[in-house]
Chain A
Amino acid sequence: MADRSGYQQMTALGRSRLKGKLTLLCDAKTDGSFLVHHFLSFFLKAKCKVCFVALVQSFSHYNIVGQKLGVSLTTAWERGQLVFLEALKTSLDIFFQTPAGPHPLQFLREASARNLQPLYAFVQEALKPEDGGEATWRHPVLLVDDLSVLLSLGVRAVAVLDFIHYCRATVCTELKGNLVALVHDSGDAADEENDLLVSGLSHQSHLILRAEGLATGFCKDVHGQLKVLWRRPSQAAAQRDRSLTYQYKIQDKTVSFFAKGLSPAVL
């Protein structure tokens, strides 16, 4: 487990050592949680070890949706494949009484948390490779839902960026795994801290999935538009980033995607 000085060193090292994929899920004026459910079930089915930091919803919510998508979170948790931090529940423990030792949600007790080191320590502990040679699970994945709520809880945007930076170093580079995080993008410049967070993360990401509402307003048959952007943050911008746009409709057990303007309801 990294001590405090190690954490500060890592932050200072910068991007040069970072490899691996950071996928950023972004939603603008719509609900992008279907992407989180998708990635969760995708990685669990792919037999990856998943550490899920769930800051906004309860375990049973993800479990019930996961069952519709074909995975059982309870089974995955029992087998040790899934490490789940249910923040809504554990926040009550740390909020109402002083914790005995370091707690991943310690920032709740502080006025303006300067860093998320205990949370990082939790992630590192959860995803560390098993001792004794044979790995039961494939490369580890860290999934965070969502990062914007950390700003509402008093954490500075810079601290969140540091936390992701640090998690990338461990999860993506060292353990050759993946990092998927959801942020809300309000678009209008009302929330400066959030904009800072979104731009900072966009520049670090390899893949950005941006769910937006339709420009023309609410539609019953097309729930929104998804922009997929592939980036290469570490290389020079000589090669153009690839991007694709789809429109989608969310259904009970799946999400159907189609090209712009070609919704079955319209054709």
Chain B
Amino acid sequence: MAAAATCGAGAGSPGSVAAAVDRSSATSFQRKGPRAGGADGGGPRLVSIAGTRPSVRNGQLLVSTGLPALDQLLGGGLAVGTVLLIEEDKYNIYSPLLFKYFLAEGIVSGHTLLVASAREHPAGILQELPAPLLDDSYEKEFDEDGCNHKTPDSSMKMKIAWRYQLLPKMEAGPVSSSRFGHYYDTSKKIPQELLRTAKWHGFFLPERISPPLTVEPCHLTHGYMKLLEFIKKIVSEEGVDGSHPQKKTKNILRIGIQSLGSPLWGDDACCAEACDDSHSLTKFLYVLRGLVRASLSACLVTVPAHLIQNKAITARVTSLSDTVVGLESFVGSERETNPLYKDYHGLIHIRQIPRLNNLICDESDVKDLAFKLKRKLFTIETGL
């Protein structure tokens, strides 16, 4: 980050703050922050990492969420150094899909993954990832699914996809892909050779949990504390926080955390309105954001927001995240039989988009967005 900014007053400042000043001036990670790719005052030095691209608006480094339609709605992609929060749909049918797309995109782009879950083993999650549709097979998918709902936006999306074809493709291996944002076939599993080349770290809560102390340091739920320590360890091991300046090739760390806030993590935010750990989830998100901001990572967290009893926590969780996307599926609701929604599976709400390094943000003009899981593709369409 641009020259260590804590406490310029010098004399009398607490020791640990002064230490932060020294540490950051020792790394070479100074002038160009991990997020401010081209927008720094000291001249643009775009960091070229596979699977990323600078934002059109302010040179911010972006990664794809795995869903090109969602990337477009978020202003080009997910900014590196930010946290994307997905509010799960009621029966948790579609949010695991977004989670898997995010991870699959990381594997195809060659990023390092950190998968955390309290429910499923990360190795199992990775086995279930969808297969990427590389090169020409995706065009057939678009044609087969018909063109009845051709809104101007989706036809523009087609044109962008065509242009990608003209870009020189990198050679053979399934791992390397010069494209930003891929399409995935949810009916097929990711090929094993692609998985084998992937670099990932897993955090499965039942394996990591040790007999809890009576009072946790910082008073976080035991599971959250362990996860934060694990993330910090991986961030410094992988060197994404700039702690290994001699490392030539930089890579992005994609962190995926599933169902944060659910009782499986030991948090009772979903169980009672006046819960004991009422600040656990929000403190966790704050420290997570601090970790992610200071490194070349992008984080996706899914939260069962509909289960959280205390609405104040939901509001605080939203303001503590950078980007917030809510999924509302029609399953089981009266909208399922509403003729207006008959072709769609649910609504997608872009609740918050961050204003990073800028006074304004790329808000989409259209607020009515519905999603549909077509035979093999997840599409988002505008206007109903």
Q: Is B229 an interface residue (CB 8 A)?
A: yes
Q: How far is the CB of B5 from chain A (nearest CB, A)?
A: 4
Q: Are B33 and A58 in contact (CB under 8 A)?
A: yes
Q: Are B289 and A251 in contact (CB under 8 A)?
A: no
- Taking CB atoms, residues of chain A closer than 8 Å to B355 are 31, 33
Q: Is B162 an interface residue (CB 8 A)?
A: no
Q: Is A149 an interface residue (CB 8 A)?
A: yes
The one of A68, A84, A186, A192 in contact with B8, judged by C-beta atoms closer than 8 angstroms, is A84
Q: Are A64 and B312 in contact (CB under 8 A)?
A: no
Q: How far is the CB of A220 from chain B (nearest CB, A)?
A: 6
Q: Are A96 and B5 in contact (CB under 8 A)?
A: no
Q: Are A59 and B1 in contact (CB under 8 A)?
A: yes
- In chain B, positions 28-72 with a C-beta closer than 8 Å to chain A are 33, 35-36, 39-41, 58
Q: Are A65 and B357 in contact (CB under 8 A)?
A: yes
Q: Is A114 an interface residue (CB 8 A)?
A: no
Give the distance in Å from the alpha carbon of A2 to the alpha carbon of B90 in the complex. 52
Give the distance in Å from the alpha carbon of A139 to the alpha carbon of B8 in the complex. 18
Q: Are B12 and A91 in contact (CB under 8 A)?
A: no
- Taking CB atoms, residues of chain A closer than 8 Å to B357 are 60-61, 64-65
Interface hit among B185-193, B337-345, B358-366: B358-366
- Taking CB atoms, residues of chain A closer than 8 Å to B17 are 90, 93, 103-104
Q: Are A90 and B16 in contact (CB under 8 A)?
A: yes
Q: Are B359 and A103 in contact (CB under 8 A)?
A: no
Q: Are B33 and A60 in contact (CB under 8 A)?
A: yes
The one of B16, B286, B312, B358 in contact with A65, judged by C-beta atoms closer than 8 angstroms, is B358
Give the distance in Å from the alpha carbon of A98 to the alpha carbon of B14 in the complex. 13
Q: Is A13 an interface residue (CB 8 A)?
A: no
Q: Is B287 an interface residue (CB 8 A)?
A: yes
The one of A60, A89, A90 in contact with B36, judged by C-beta atoms closer than 8 angstroms, is A60
Q: Which residue of A lies closest to B24 (CB)?
A: A89
Q: Are A95 and B287 in contact (CB under 8 A)?
A: yes
Give the distance in Å from the alpha carbon of A242 to the alpha carbon of B20 in the complex. 46
Interface hit among A74-82, A167-175, A207-215, A231-239: A74-82
Give the distance in Å from the alpha carbon of A91 to the alpha carbon of B287 in the complex. 7
Q: Is A158 an interface residue (CB 8 A)?
A: no
Q: Are B287 and A60 in contact (CB under 8 A)?
A: no
The one of A58, A67, A110, A122 in contact with B293, judged by C-beta atoms closer than 8 angstroms, is A58
Give the distance in Å from the alpha carbon of A34 to the alpha carbon of B359 in the complex. 6
Q: Is A202 an interface residue (CB 8 A)?
A: no
Q: Are A68 and B359 in contact (CB under 8 A)?
A: yes
Q: Is A181 an interface residue (CB 8 A)?
A: no
- Per the CB 8 Å criterion, the residue count for chain B at the interface is 54
- Taking CB atoms, residues of chain B closer than 8 Å to A190 are 311-312, 314-315
Q: Are B9 and A126 in contact (CB under 8 A)?
A: yes
Give the distance in Å from the alpha carbon of A181 to the alpha carbon of B71 in the complex. 34
Q: Is B7 an interface residue (CB 8 A)?
A: yes
Q: A64-B357, A109-B217 are in contact. Are A74 and B319 (CB under 8 A)?
A: no
Q: Are B16 and A94 in contact (CB under 8 A)?
A: yes
Give the distance in Å from the alpha carbon of A215 to the alpha carbon of B282 in the complex. 29
Give the distance in Å from the alpha carbon of A92 to the alpha carbon of B228 in the complex. 10
Digitize B210-223: 1 where CB-to-A-CB distance is under 8 Å, 0 elsewhere: 00000001110000
Q: Are A99 and B16 in contact (CB under 8 A)?
A: yes
Q: Are B40 and A104 in contact (CB under 8 A)?
A: no
Q: Is A102 an interface residue (CB 8 A)?
A: yes
Binding site for B on A (CB under 8 A): 1, 31, 33-34, 37, 58-61, 63-65, 67-68, 72-74, 77-78, 80, 82-96, 98-104, 108-112, 122, 125-126, 148-149, 151-154, 184, 186, 190-194, 218, 220, 250-253, 255
Can you pick out 27 interface pairs between chain A and chain B where the beta carbons lie within 8 Å of each other? A37-B359, A58-B1, A64-B58, A64-B358, A65-B359, A77-B8, A78-B8, A80-B9, A83-B7, A84-B5, A86-B5, A86-B6, A88-B293, A90-B17, A91-B290, A92-B294, A96-B229, A99-B16, A103-B14, A104-B17, A108-B218, A149-B320, A151-B316, A191-B315, A191-B316, A252-B360, A253-B359
